[in-house]
Amino acid sequence: MGRKDKNKKKGKGAEKTSMKTDKKLIAKQKKLLAKLGEEDIENIVAKYETKDTKSSDLTEIVCPPPTARVNVAICAHPADREEIFIHGGEFFNGQQTMIYGDFYSYNATKNEWKTLKSSICPAPRSGHQMVSVATDGGQLWLFGGEYASPSQLQFYHFRDLWVYRMAKKQWEKLNAPNGPSARSGHRMVVTRKKLFVFGGFHDNNASYRYFNDLYAFSLENYTWTKIEAAGTSPPARSGCCMVANADGKILIWGGYSKMNVKKEIDRGTTHTDMYALVADKPDAKGQSGQPGYKWTSVKPNGKKPAPRSGMAVALAPNGKAYAFGGVMDTEEDEEDVRGLFSCELHALDTNACTWRKLELAAKSRKSAASKVADADMEEEEEKSKPVADAGAKVVSDDGVFTMTVGGGASGGAASKGTSGKGAAGDSDTLDLGGPSPRMNAATVVCKGQLYVYGGLFESGSRQYTLSDLYSLGKITRRFKTN
């Protein structure tokens, strides 16, 4: 009995010590922020959320392409239009971090960028998700993300849900309770008139947490439901790949998480597993009375990508998921981790769960292999599709795919960089066959074209944020630039 009481008192003492330590860290951070002249992040975000809301009118202004940024949200127009939308993102210039709230549209037919501005809109953020649905003339749904202060000493994670109604050209914030907690790095897909949100992380610079919870938002009654699926759920992670095919099956693979192994030393895990979420029989109900769901582990066939995080994925209407880029950590010691960046393009048949690596075949070697690659792109023949960028464009025709390469500017954290060959020292960062190696690019399929925008590349201590835009499609003639 005495030993139990002693342990109990010791526990309380440790708790008090921890609280005192936290208070000291907070006080120390406040002094540092005051020295830097940086405002409290709660106040910064509050200013964005309480700005003038007398008018919700949206203005569209033709503009140059977006500046270099990473961790943007991207989606395609839900109707039969060659238009993509980009929101937010972040850029680090070597000294400060900038978080963007810009909302852009790109019309591939006109080769035209527009910035869409409104007094009522989501606050600046990165690491969020956005999907499109065709309801009521088209809607874009946006959830979560994070805001980092310029010094990166403060972080604010969002849990808000927004809808952009295309017919009205208006943003609206939905006040739906019981949704996911504040997070970024999560993934969101739409299927069966529901938004599904999985995973992500929360980091306040003092502690962090990774999630593996699953939520569904009904696009019919505007309510959140936490899904308690049967089976073994995927381990917690952020930045994974998540797609939903035409049958409503949701696939999740890859991603990244970390855990503390020593004082001030964390070890990251690049996940290589794959899981499928499927609905139970129509008459089966979960604990909430909603249709039940079940997680199952999947062992895909074919040549799957090497382990990597920061891979971007886009689902085409033909049921193929196109996965691009990513980075694989090569640990040199516990404190020094380098990254091996990729520019590979892989295709996953979401129905058969079979991987295939896509290669650009030369004209002289067009054969059965290239015919298989041809079949990956959805339409028999596409119209010529230009790609907008700030610089000159180069056209490469390999006889199978035609790639338009934009010469956009890149941001260098330690030195001026470009997206061209040699931008990061001795790395072969660009050839005419496709985008340079990168992680956290934004990808989307629109009208049979796979678009790849931006991303991040590191070489040694130098970091490059990219702003280039590529498109890739199965066509029978070259791209034409406007």
Closest CA to 139 of 162, 109, 156: 162
Find where tokens 């689902």 sit.
315
**124-133, 242-251, 292-301, 458-467: lowest mean pLDDT where?**
458-467
Dihedral, CA of residue 178, residue 181, residue 186 and residue 189, to nearest 10? 10
pLDDT of residue 149: 93
Tokens 């009995």 label which residue?
Answer: 1
Q: How far apart are CA 172 and CA 142, in angstroms?
A: 10
- Vertex 169 angle, CA 163 and 172, to 5°: 30
313-335: per-residue pLDDT in tens? 999 999 999 999 999 877 655 55
Average pLDDT of the residues in 240-268: 92
* Tokens representing residue 325 in the block: 């880029």
Q: What is the pLDDT of residue 170?
A: 95
26 vs 411, residue with greater confidence: 26
CA distance 435 to 418: 12
HSE-up of 379 (CA within 13 Å, CB side)? 14
What is the predicted pLDDT for the residue at 329? Answer: 76
Summarised one tens digit per residue, pLDDT across range 10-50 is 344 444 444 444 455 556 666 676 677 788 888 889 888 77
164-202 per-position pLDDT tens digit = 999 999 999 999 999 999 999 999 999 999 999 999 999
3-class DSSP state of 412: strand
Question: In this structure, are residues 215 and 180 in contact, taking their beta carbons and an 8 Å threshold?
Answer: yes
What is residue 206's predicted lDDT score, i.e. its pLDDT? Answer: 83
For residue 155, count other CB atoms closer than 10 A to its CB.
17
Question: What pLDDT score was predicted for residue 334?
Answer: 55
Helix (H) / strand (E) element for 28: namely helix 2-36
pLDDT of residue 289: 52
pLDDT of residue 204: 87
pLDDT at 112 > cutoff 90: yes
- Per-residue model confidence (pLDDT) at position 341: 95
Of the listed ranges 114-118, 136-140, 372-376, 427-431, the one predicted with least confidence:
427-431
pLDDT tens track for 205-216: 888 999 999 999
pLDDT confidence of residue 140: 98
Give 405's pLDDT tier (boundaries 50, 70, 90). very low
Q: In angstroms, what CA-CA distances link 430 with 364, 402, 468, 470?
A: 23, 16, 11, 12
Q: Return the SS3 of 463.
A: strand
- Confidence at residue 366, expressed as pLDDT on a 0 to 100 scale: 40
364 pLDDT band, cuts 50/70/90, is very low
- pLDDT at position 223, please? 98
Could you give the CA distance from residue 352 to residue 372 in angstroms, rounded to a whole number?
16
Among candidates 411, 407, 406, 442, which has minimal Cα distance to 424?
Answer: 411
Is the CA virtual torsion 170, 176, 181, 186 positive or negative? negative
> How does the average pLDDT of the chain come out, rounded?
79
Query: Looking at per-residue confidence, does 466 or 476 come out higher?
Result: 466
The pLDDT of 417-440, averaged and rounded, is 52
Note whether 97 and 90 are within 8 A (CB): yes
Q: Which of 102, 189, 203, 204 is nearest to 143 (CA)?
A: 189
Confidence class for position 407, pLDDT limits 50, 70, 90? very low
Beta carbons of 33 and 151 less than 8 angstroms apart: yes
Measured in whole angstroms, the distance separating CA 189 from the mean position of its chain's CA atoms is: 12
- Among 184-193, 424-433, 442-451, the least confident range: 424-433
Q: Which residue has the tokens 């295939």?
A: 356
Distance between CA atoms of 350 and 127, rounded to whole angstroms? 25
Once rounded to an integer, what is the mean pLDDT over residues 105-124?
95
Q: 164: Cβ–Cβ under 8 A, 6 or more apart, which residues?
A: 103, 139, 140, 142, 170, 171, 172
HSE of 35, CA atoms in CB hemisphere, 13 A = 8
- pLDDT of 34 reads 66
Model confidence at 282, pLDDT cuts 50, 70, 90, reads low
For 58, the 3-state DSSP assignment is strand
Looking at per-residue pLDDT, the higher value among 153 and 217 belongs to 217
CB 194 within 8 A of CB 219: yes
The proportion of the chain whose per-residue pLDDT surpasses 70, expressed as a percent, equals: 70
